[in-house]
Chains A and B, each alone.
Chain A
């Protein structure tokens, strides 16, 4: 597969995942704000920006409306929902012949829907339905992709993009959350704190699954364990890293380039998550642990880029000759 094509599919998938995550987080946060005092505004904005890996403007006080516009509609912010969907579509447009026409149609439909939404309209009563439409649109796209595209190398790059993005976004969200609340206790929580932990679960579509695993009693330590280390829940860090790892192995096999840098880093990260216990993680400091995950994640991304997309001709030829031997 051409490197450019793989690169486009990878980024298309990352952008869509980012749009999905952002839509869900903003939706949940807006609900939370309803239950909080108006003075909390600036803190909430800061939280939102940090959780979305966006820079927090220094000095000036944060205006909630402007912040919301930045994360949802702004075209100058490359990570806003609208920018992400536009970028995903642009990436797919360049490699249209590589995907099924159903995929293209769905992404195009989603794009047309979001660019035709006026911010004023979205902030009135319809905000929830807007965020819902974005999430539904991306989920539908995933389903169509799985059902209509051949699960070959291109599909693996789509998986890779989605789970690299998810790992990093989840780690950033958890990191921001843990710095906001006190050390996660192994005790049920109440009131405001309860709402925040439920919000975190909802932002990761995890509330129902958590309840099935641990009942509706919200204990911060359990929430942390569930979102970090659960091997079965698709929006947990461990699950995502497992998927990154699996996709990289298949890609390595297909390209006949095993034991390369990306697989090694992903394998190391996977081992760490597989054998960690939540008490240990917390004793060590959750933020150190999460920072480490994010740094490994960015190393994986660079390694993919360097090995599969943008290698120098000399290194490419050298590894090819090695493989021939």
Chain B
């Protein structure tokens, strides 16, 4: 669909500034006509007096401010602690769409995890030449120390945050996987809490799947991953390891530790003796079994990884190898979120599961390949270039929005180190209505669901919908001026359960405008 095919639509308040482009619009099926499941929201918005929307946004912002729901931005000099911007309008996903996402992500995580086990053991996929050996061995997140090490339940990735985008054809694509220490889940929970207060009636009437059990599910996942030599496997001592108060996600660490009822520890609180990890408590050393670590591989153990790290615990890796403690996620999982290896994912899924990927990849150019590199370098202004081992939107070039100088800089970098970059065509991320200065405008969004793998795969319905709050921007990362909104996955209609979901009867009434 071209821009010309989508006429600009001048709606009544508060949609006067709402613009369409080639992107898929989450709310409107065609200009002015909302999709079925967005009708109630549309009606509510149109029915609210102008001041009311602004007032509700202010109330929500105040809640965030008072509860100190903040994150830290690196690379700026002063005032590094910021409120995470929240958009008031929920993003709505009907259950049939969610069912596909859930299936696709479960498949993907299963394959990812099998892939990691294979790479760190037999390397079948390398022997079969599905994934080139040199790609693996040149990956900076490969941890040779993990070779041949058996991790509990063979689970490498217990917490995964996969970024999905919806492209103009209406399908969800996987943009990237975050397998190291994905963050943002506290904002997902905070958004929900705030929205329930802002639109209580609409929330109830919509029949939204709950997500509040995430901390409990995370704890259950962690507790199911007890190490081999755990003394009391029924009651493992679980802790959350944080880099400390200056880390960008420190708020989330304290929040999750509190919600799970486990100790929040720093590296200096842990000590290793005879390959056993203890935390230093006032009642003496207490043995630790499972560590949900929010510290990167490099900083975990100065004896084994970076020597200058003071965030880690000397001797931790040996204790891990000895089977006396478990780490979630395992060490070396960053291998599988290398953006060059990502390009092989459809084949990886086929290799291990003999299935086609349910959620497709975004087309990706490998710059180590001379012809692909040539194509990318000739079309830099149309491409998005990303460093393979980075996350959080750092070290990234958005072709159409870049200056000539930036493009030249990236061109030089790509030529100097092609393995370190990949390129993707600039994607038109789907748009959703957002509240900007009291009116509804459209902004680009993505979706990060959180997937847990322990005894079984667990997904809480929804995830963090990230919003590029700057007009026209395609970058949704919180560190780059993005915000987030609540994600409502609607319950499936179940005719046997009259109390649960929205029945057809109710749907008709919503459509008929009797219910706001």
Q: Which residues of A contact B (CB under 8 A)?
A: 1-4, 6, 93-94, 96-97, 153, 251, 254-257, 308-309, 311, 313-314, 316-317, 319-320, 323
Q: How far is the CB of B158 from chain A (nearest CB, A)?
A: 23
B window 260-295: CB within 8 A of A? 263-266, 268-269, 271, 273, 278-285
B371 within 8 A of A: no
Contact across chains for B284 and A2 when beta carbons are under 8 A apart: no
Interface of A is mostly: helix
- Number of residues from B at the complex interface, CB < 8 A: 21
B415 in the interface, Cβ–Cβ < 8 Å? no
Contact: A254 with B285, CB < 8 Å?
no
Asked if A255 and B283 make an inter-chain contact with CB atoms under 8 angstroms apart, the answer reads yes
Given contacts A2-B265, A2-B269, A313-B271, A319 and B284 within 8 Å (CB-CB): yes
Give A251 to B284 CA distance when docked, in angstroms: 12
Q: Which residues of B contact A94 (CB under 8 A)?
A: 244-245
CB A175 to nearest CB in B, in angstroms, measures 32
A2 in contact with B281 (CB, 8 Å): yes
Please tell me if B406 contacts chain A, counting CB pairs below 8 Å.
no
Q: B480 within 8 Å of A by Cβ?
A: no
From known contacts A2-B265, A3-B269, A4-B268, infer whether A153 and B282 are also in contact, taking CB-CB under 8 Å. Answer: yes
Q: Please tell me if the beta carbons of A320 and B254 are within 8 angstroms of each other in the complex.
A: no
Interface readout for B288-306 with A: 1 if CB under 8 Å, 0 if not? 0000000000000000000
Closest chain B CB from A241 CB (angstroms)? 21
Among B254, B263, B266, B283, max chain A CB count under 10 A is at B283
CB-based nearest A residue for B263: A2
Q: What are 15 A-B residue pairs whose CB atoms fall within 8 Å in the complex?
A: A2-B281, A2-B282, A3-B280, A3-B281, A97-B254, A97-B258, A251-B282, A254-B282, A255-B282, A255-B283, A257-B283, A308-B282, A311-B284, A313-B273, A313-B278
Chain B's closest residue to A317 (CB) is: B285
Give the complex CA separation of A316 and B282 in angstroms: 10
Q: How far is the CB of A88 from chain B (nearest CB, A)?
A: 15
Instruction: Chain A residues near B385: list those with CB within 8 A.
Output: none
A1 touches B281 (CB 8 A): yes
A97 touches B264 (CB 8 A): yes
On chain B, the residues within 8 Å of A317 by CB distance are: 273, 278, 284-285
Chain B: CB-nearest residue to A96: B254
The docked-state distance in angstroms from the alpha carbon of A2 to that of B288 is 12
The one of A4, A255, A319 in contact with B280, judged by C-beta atoms closer than 8 angstroms, is A4
The answer to whether residues A316 and B280 also contact, given A3-B269, A4-B269 and a CB cut-off of 8 A, is yes
Per a CB cutoff under 8 Å, which of A4, A256, A316 touches B285? A316
State the CA gap A153–B263 with chains docked (Å).
Answer: 15
A313 nearest CB neighbor, chain B only? B273
Q: Does B27 contact A (CB under 8 A)?
A: no
Q: A1-B282, A2-B280, A96-B254 are in contact. List 8 more A-B contacts (CB 8 A).
A: A3-B281, A3-B282, A4-B266, A94-B244, A254-B282, A308-B282, A313-B278, A313-B285
B282 — which chain A residues lie within 8 A by C-beta?
A: 1-3, 6, 153, 251, 254-255, 308-309
Q: Are A320 and B268 in contact (CB under 8 A)?
A: no
| Shortest CB distance A300–B (Å) | 15
Whether the Cβ atoms of A257 and B280 lie closer than 8 Å is: no
Tell me which residues across on chain A come within 8 A of B273, comparing CB atoms: 313-314, 317
Query: Does chain A have a CB within 8 A of B257?
Result: yes
Residues A254 and B283 in contact in the complex (CB < 8 Å), given A3-B269, A4-B266, A4-B268: yes
Q: Are A320 and B284 in contact (CB under 8 A)?
A: yes
Q: Are B284 and A257 in contact (CB under 8 A)?
A: yes
Q: Which of B245, B254, B284 contacts A316 (CB 8 A)?
A: B284
- Inter-chain CA distance A1–B286, complex, in Å, is 10
A257 to chain B, nearest CB (A): 7
Contacts of A6 in B (CB 8 A): 282
- Determine the distance from Cα of A256 to Cα of B265 in the docked complex, in whole angstroms: 22
A96 to B250, CA, bound (A): 11
For residue A311, which residues in chain B have a CB less than 8 angstroms away from its CB? 280, 284
Q: Which residues of A contact B244 (CB under 8 A)?
A: 94
A323 (CB) vs chain B CBs: closest residue: B284
Which residues of chain A have C-beta atoms less than 8 A from B266's C-beta? Answer: 4
A2/B279 contact (C-beta < 8 A), A94-B245, A313-B273 known? yes
Expressed in whole angstroms, the minimum distance between the Cβ of B7 and any Cβ of chain A is 51
- Would you call B278 and A256 a contact (CB within 8 A)? no
Smallest CB gap from B244: residue in A: A94
Which residues of A have CB within 8 Å of B285?
A: 313, 316-317, 320
Give A311 to B257 CA distance when docked, in angstroms: 25
Most buried by B among A254, A308, A314: A308
A93 to B279, CA, bound (A): 21
List residues of chain A with CB within 8 A of the CB of B271.
313
Complex-state Cα separation, A24 to B265, whole angstroms: 38
- A-B residue pairs, 8 tightest by C-beta: A255-B283, A320-B284, A3-B280, A316-B285, A97-B254, A313-B273, A308-B282, A316-B284
For B231-253 the 0/1 string (1 means CB < 8 A from A) is 00000000000001100000000
A251, B281: Cα distance in complex, Å: 12
**What B residues does A2 contact at CB under 8 A?**
263, 265, 269, 279-282
Question: With A96-B254, A97-B257, A313-B278 in contact, do A255 and B284 touch (Cβ < 8 Å)?
Answer: yes
Minimal Cβ-Cβ distance residue in A for B286: A320
Considering only CB atoms, which chain B residue lies closest to A251 in the complex? B282
Chain A residues whose CB sits within 8 angstroms of the CB of B268 once the complex forms: 4
Choose among B264, B269, B271, B285 the residue with the greatest number of A CB atoms under 10 Å from its CB: B285
Nearest chain A CB to B67 CB, angstrom units = 8
Residues of B within 8 A of A256 (CB): 283
* Residues of chain B with a CB closer than 8 A to A96's CB: 254
CB distance from B260 to the nearest CB of A (A): 12
Query: Please, how many angstroms separate the alpha-carbon atoms of A265 and B195 in the complex?
Result: 56
A255 CA / B283 CA spacing, docked (Å): 4
Residue of B nearest to A94 (CB): B245
Contact across chains for B245 and A93 when beta carbons are under 8 A apart? yes
Contact flags B188-223 to A (C-beta < 8 A → 1, else 0):
000000000000000000000000000000000000
Nearest chain A CB to B210 CB, angstrom units: 25
Cβ of A183 to closest chain B Cβ, rounded Å: 44
Chain A residues in 8 Å Cβ range of B265: 2
Chain B residues with Cβ under 8 A from A97's Cβ? 254, 257-258, 264
CB nearest to B268 among chain A residues: A4
| Docked complex Cα distance between A153 and B264 (Å) | 17
Which residues, 409 to 425 on B, are CB-close (under 8 Å) to A? none
Interfacial chain B residues near A153, Cβ < 8 Å: 282
Q: List, in ascending order, chain B residues with CB within 8 A of A255's CB.
A: 281-284
> Whole-angstrom distance between the alpha carbons of A256 and B281 in the complex?
12
